[in-house]
């Protein structure tokens, strides 16, 4: 098969595909060129940079394209229903990056609790602000609320429990037996907002209004910390900025933004924001696992 890789892929996985007789082409296409380019491939492998929309799928209809693979968890950058209706299958790699994203979420929790990001930045400016950043808090003994308790949320739960945190979670689906297994408790969303000292988002992209907005922030404990490594449009960034400025929220850890690269400089440069440029799955280990999952998906095509 001819396989298009638009946003990069683990080199070992690409070598494996080539060794098995496939032609692998690494090439990023601008949106106005993508649809026509897809016609020449059996499989397209994309990450978050490439957006495959209805117009691209229309251009590829009736061609050799059979499958689009999203190397990662979320598939909101692909019009999945339209692709499948057009006879093009869509797959993702949901298992590969769970540990990496969970570890980054935990890292942001530490950064927000102990001012790690801003304190380090101030030192690079030649400052020694020990008093200003000497009022950190411990994670141990705090309550972590996880919104969306899938693979990533469950991995974060394990780490948080090891840190001595109480873990509560809200999800439309309750995994049978997992409360006893992981030592956590399912609660309704409003109870999570009211009880949690740290809130970490691990839900798919939402349609309509953001999951976290002025209304839901008002339900949170004063001084709570919000972590978002899921999707940028899950959070109303203006409402978050207002909550940080007013002191309603202590801090926020952000890896994703409503627009990427982000344009809201007041938010990402806020002293109480720990920010990273959408690197949740960007570890050597995760990329290797993603590559292996992609190879398995392509092999399954026969």
184, 173 contact by CB (below 8 A): no
Query: 24 and 44 in contact (C-beta within 8 Å)?
Result: no
Q: Give the C-alpha separation, 136 to 154, whole Å.
A: 26
pLDDT in tens, 167-210: 999 999 999 999 999 999 999 999 999 999 999 999 988 777 89
Catalytic residue among 47, 114, 151, 278: 278
Phi-psi region of 232 (alpha: psi -120 to 50; beta: other; left: phi over 0): alpha
Q: Which one of 108, 202, 231, 270 is the catalytic residue?
A: 231
Mark the ranges of the chain whose per-residue pLDDT is less than 70: none
Please give the pLDDT value at position 301.
86
Q: Among this protein's residues, is 260 annotated catalytic?
A: yes
- Residue 205: the pLDDT is 83
**pLDDT given for residue 235 in this prediction:** 97
Which of 23, 129, 260, 285 is catalytic? The answer is 260
Each residue's pLDDT tens digit, 148-159? 999 999 999 999
Quick: pLDDT tens for 21-42. Answer: 999 999 999 999 999 999 999 9
Closest CA to 109 of 287, 282, 255: 255
| Cα–chain center distance at 300 | 27
Residue that the structure tokens 């929220």 belong to: 249
The verdict on whether 108 is a catalytic residue reads no
Between CA 28 and CA 25 the distance in angstroms is 10
Predicted local distance difference test score (pLDDT) of residue 204: 86
User: What is the per-residue pLDDT for 191?
Assistant: 98
Q: Give helix 11-19 / helix 284-300 axis angle, nearest 10°.
A: 20
User: Distances in Å between the alpha carbon of 17 and those of 10, 28, 40, 281, 297?
Assistant: 11, 19, 18, 22, 11
Query: What's the CA dihedral at 18, 24, 26, 29 to 10 degrees?
Result: -170
Query: Are 86 and 61 a contacting pair, CB within 8 Å?
Result: yes
Q: Sign of the C-alpha dihedral, residues 229, 234, 238, 242?
A: negative
């Amino acid at each position: 098969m001819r396989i298009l890789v638009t946003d990069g892929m683990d080199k070992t996985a690409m070598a494996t595909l080539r060794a098995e007789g496939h032609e692998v082409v690494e090439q990023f296409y601008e949106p106005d060129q993508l649809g026509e380019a897809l016609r020449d491939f059996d499989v397209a492998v994309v990450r978050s940079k490439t957006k495959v929309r209805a117009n691209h799928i229309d251009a590829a209809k009736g061609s050799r394209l059979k499958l689009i693979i999203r190397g990662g968890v979320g598939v909101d950058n692909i019009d999945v229903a339209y692709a499948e209706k057009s006879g093009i299958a869509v797959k993702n790699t949901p298992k590969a990056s769970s540990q990496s994203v969970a570890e980054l979420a935990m890292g942001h929790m530490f950064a927000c609790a102990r001012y790690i990001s801003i304190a380090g930045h101030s030192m690079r400016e030649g400052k020694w602000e020990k008093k200003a950043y000497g009022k950190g808090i411990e994670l141990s003994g705090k309550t972590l609320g996880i919104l969306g308790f899938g693979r990533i949320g469950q991995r974060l739960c394990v780490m948080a429990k090891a840190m001595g945190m109480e873990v509560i979670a809200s999800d439309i689906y309750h995994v049978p037996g997992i409360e006893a297994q992981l030592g956590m408790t399912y609660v309704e969303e409003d109870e999570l907002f009211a009880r949690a000292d740290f809130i970490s988002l691990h839900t798919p992209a939402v349609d309509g209004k953001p999951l976290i907005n002025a209304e839901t922030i008002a339900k949170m404990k004063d001084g709570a910390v919000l972590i978002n490594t899921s999707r940028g449009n899950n959070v109303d960034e203006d409402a978050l900025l207002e909550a940080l400025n007013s002191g309603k929220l202590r801090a926020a850890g952000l890896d994703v933004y409503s627009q990427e690269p982000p344009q809201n400089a007041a938010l990402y440069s806020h002293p109480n924001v720990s920010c990273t440029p959408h690197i949740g799955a960007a570890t050597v280990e995760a990329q290797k696992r993603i590559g292996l999952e992609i190879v398995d998906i392509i092999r399954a095509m026969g």
